[in-house]
Amino acid sequence: MDQPQENSSTVVGGVDTHKDLHVAAVVDHHDRLLGTASFPTTRHGYKTLLSWVRSFGTVSRVGVECTGTYGAGLLRYLQQSDIPTLEVTAPDKTVRRKRGKVDTIDAENAAHAAYAGIRTVTPKTRDGMIEALRVLRVCRKTAVAASRIALQMIQMQIISAPDELRDQLRNMTRMQLVRTLAAWRPDLSRYRNVTTAYRIAFKSLARRYVELHDEIADLDVMIKAIVDELAPELVSRLGVGYESASQLLITAGDNPERVHSEAGFAALCGVSPVPASSGKTQRHRLNRGGDRAPNSALHIIAIGRLRLDPSTQDYVAKRTEQGLSKLEAIRCLKRYIARELFYVLQRRNHTISQTQIAA
């Protein structure tokens, strides 16, 4: 660990985060490196890290990598300590190509980025109900994936099952098949027999599917309750279901004020058009950046409105008459939907803030 220097000026910190160890760097008010050090990823380690950074001077801000994963604990500690914190995004490829990659260099680059205000964004606070919503949706997503795999395994095993089993199962609907297999009572002591082994496997997969189905239903109830409490106006909008609403709430975060404009929200969702003009050719191309999860949610909303809303149908017809393809018209529609829902989210944030002030 480098020894701190006597300096009462303002300093900026940068942290390269890992599972068991964080590497920190400090730069002064002229962006000169003052020192680097490593700290364990425990609460005592976070306290020691902050004390070490403060030993160089007054901390103006700290740039932290991966605030949603390895850096989540440190982010919460810094926010509780009232330290302005920025999330440092992808490293500068040019610097990495020239200097190489080690943890101390990454921490130093994070400090330089925080000092200059480049490659940084305001992190989500991750301390409210939306973080709880995110955790529940992650759990639901994995449960859905596991149930799909269980059903696929059942269907694949039927293809190669002995004739006496295949003929019995092949024409059943999905729920008939699952209920039938879950009710089987094979003799577990005869697992060496091929037919009995298939019966045991079918029963195991069917029970797994049923348990996951029940788990998904329980999670849906909790997700619905949180969305209804946080943003009832959001789900009342045409085409916005609970899945789409929950994803948009997660994208905005517990502190949606970090997104300063509806254009910024559209860029965050990857629905803002990107200029691609040259000379006399004036055009925009598809934005392949942003978070693809809210982009998918906005696409689902757009398709739902295109099926149900006459004004949306008229808008898409008008844009196609102007020479756009249907897909390009839907991209324009997603941009307008992002603007509409951004202001819904902003009003929700204002209401929550007023409630907290009154309390």
pLDDT band at residue 172 under the 50/70/90 scheme? very high
Domain boundaries, the chain: 10-121, 129-230, 233-358
Distance CA 337, CA 339 (A): 5
Q: What is the pLDDT of residue 275?
A: 84
pLDDT at 355 over 60: no
Q: Which residues contact 255 (CB under 8 A, 6 or more apart)?
A: 122, 124, 125
304-313 long-range contacts (CB < 8 A, ≥24 apart) are: 304/238, 304/239, 304/241, 305/238, 305/239, 305/333, 305/337, 306/330, 306/333, 308/238, 308/239, 309/238, 309/239
pTM of the model: 0.85
Query: How does pLDDT run across 30-54, given as a tens digit for each residue?
Result: 999 999 999 999 999 999 999 999 9
Give the architecture (CATH level 2) of 10-121: 2-Layer Sandwich (3.30)
Query: How does pLDDT run across 280-319, given as a tens digit for each residue?
Result: 887 777 788 889 999 999 999 999 999 999 999 999 999 9
Write the DSSP symbol of residue 253.
-
